[in-house]
Chains A and B, each alone.
Chain A
Amino acid sequence: MTAQRTPGIRPRPTIWRQLDAASRQSFPAACTALLLLLLASPLGLPGQAQLQPAAALACVFFWSVFRPGSMPPPVVFLLGLLSDLLGLAPLGTGVLVLLITYGLAVQWRRVLAQQGFLVVWLVFVVVAAGAASLGWLLTSLLTFRLLPGNAALFQFGITAGLYPMLATLFTRAHRGLANPDQA
C-alpha cells in the first residue's frame, strides 16, 4: 500500500498485478490458517497438540510486529476462533490470548522492528510464557478444575522453541514472496 503513495513511475495496475498484490497482502493470514489446519491433521508428530496453539501465537506475533497491516484484529480474532474450534479448548480462550498478543506486539513494534532477531525472540519468549499461563488460567476457570501445570509449561517450551524456525521462514517470505512492494 505504501507503494501507491510514493511518487514515481509505476506499472499499470492490471487485474493480474492487483491479484498478485492481494495475494501477497493476504499471505500472512492465509499461511497461518493453513498451518493451523495442517497441524490439526494426524501427522503423528510428537507434541502435536501443543504445536497448533504455538504456531498460531508465533505467526500472529511475527506478523503483528513486522506487518500489522496484513494481520488486522478481525483476522486475529478469526484465527483464534479457528484454533479453538479445531481443538477442544473452551471457546474464546485462544481468541483472547491471540488478541492480547496482537495488542502487545503492535504496541511494541516501533521498538521491536528495529531490533535484531535475538531481542525479538526473547520478547516473544516472555509473551509465550504469559500466553501459556493465561491459557492455563482461562481453561482452568472455564472447566472449574485445576489443570496440570506441567502441560502449560510444556506448551510454553514448544512455543518458545518453534518461533526461531517459523521466524526464519517468515522473514524470507516477508522480504520476497509476500512483499506487496514487489508486486
Chain B
Amino acid sequence: MIRLSIPVRQALLRLTLPVLIAVAFGLMLLGKADPLLAERARMALADALAPIFAVVAEPLAAVHAAVDDVEGLMALRSDNAKLRAENEQLRRWRAVALALDAENSTLKSNLRWIPDPAPSYVTARVVADAGGVYARAVLLSVGPNHSMTKGQIALDERGLAGRVTEIGARSARVLLVTDMNSRIPVILEGSRARAILVGTNGPRPRLMHWPEGVMPVEGERVVTSAEANAFPAGLPVGTVHYSASNAAEVDTAARLDRLDVVRVFDYGLRGVLPPEAPAGGPDRRPK
C-alpha cells in the first residue's frame, strides 16, 4: 500500500466516480463498436454461471412441481371432467389423423415423393432468463462437447420458441420469438399467405406484411415458412389473435413464459447467418 497524504487521497476518492462514469461511456462505445467482444464477455459469464444455475434450477423445479401438485389437487374434479371430454374429442381426431396419415403415405408412394431427412436434435435445460427489460432471451445449459451452432432452432413441446444466437462452451443463448429483434417468415395456414412475425417484447408477437386481399383470421394456425432458408416450413408457431387495438398478433403455441426444456434442432439451414456459411443450401423440410 502506498502511503498518500490525506488531501491527495481525498482528491483520488473524489475522482473515482467521474472516472468510472467515463469508463461506463467508454464501455457503451466499445460494446457498440465491437459487438463480438460484448457477446464473448456475456458468454464467458454465462459459461461460468450455467453449472451453478443448473444446480439452482433443481430445487426450483421441485418447488414449481409442488405448487403445481397443490393446484392440480384443488382442481381435480373439474379437470377430470374436462379431460374426459377432451379425450373423447381427441380419440375422434386420432382416427382422422390415422386415416389422413395412411392416405398421405399412399399418395406419397404414388408420387415418388423424396422423404425429408429427419433432423437431428439435442435437448437442453433452460437455466436462466437472459433477457432484460428490452430483450427476451433464455440461457440453455449444454454439455461441454455439444454440437450446437448459431441459427439452430429451438422448440418446446408445443411449438417454436426461438433461435440460437450465441454459443459458449457450456451454454447457449436462445433469442425468443417475442424479442423485438426477432423477424420470422411465416405462413397463415388457412390462406397459405406469407407474412412476417415481428417480436414486440410483449407476450404476443405481431403479424406484419401479409399480402393484400388476405386477412389473418382469428384462430387461424400460423406455421413457419421456408422463405429465406432460415427455418424449415411447417413448424407450429401459434394461432392468430386480434388484440384490443385490432392488431393481428400471434398467440404462441410454445409456453414462452415458462420454458423448462427445449429441443434444439439442426435442420442444416444456413440461410440468414454470418457470411462464412455457404448461402442457399438445399431446401430441407421437416417431417
Contacts and interface: CB of A to CB of B under 8 A. Distances in A.
Interface of A: 37-38, 40-44, 48-50, 52-53, 72-74, 76-77, 80-82, 85-93, 95-96, 99-100, 102-103, 135, 138-139, 142-143, 147-148, 151-152, 155
A72 B15 CA distance: 12
A43 B20 contact: no
A96 B27 CA distance: 10
B28 A73 contact: no
Given A44-B258, A102-B17, A138 B134 contact: no
B16 A74 contact: yes
Contacts of B259: 42
B257 interface: yes
B175 to A, nearest CB: 8
B45 A86 contact: yes
B127 interface: yes
Interface stretch (B30-38, B92-100, B237-245): B30-38
Contacts of B28: 90-93, 96, 138, 142
B131 interface: yes
A155 to B, nearest CB: 5
Contacts of A152: 133
B133 A151 contact: yes
A91 to B, nearest CB: 3
Contact of B132 (A42, A52, A148): A52
A92 B24 contact: yes
A73 B23 CA distance: 12
Contacts of A49: 129, 131-133, 136
Closest 5 CB pairs of A and B: A87-B132, A91-B31, A92-B27, A92-B28, A88-B135
A89 B132 contact: yes
A53 B26 CA distance: 21
10 contacts: A37-B49, A42-B258, A44-B257, A88-B130, A91-B27, A92-B27, A92-B31, A135-B133, A147-B180, A148-B201
A149 B260 CA distance: 30
Interface string B125-147: 01111111111111000000000
B201 A151 contact: yes
Contacts of A135: 133
B53 interface: yes
B114 interface: no
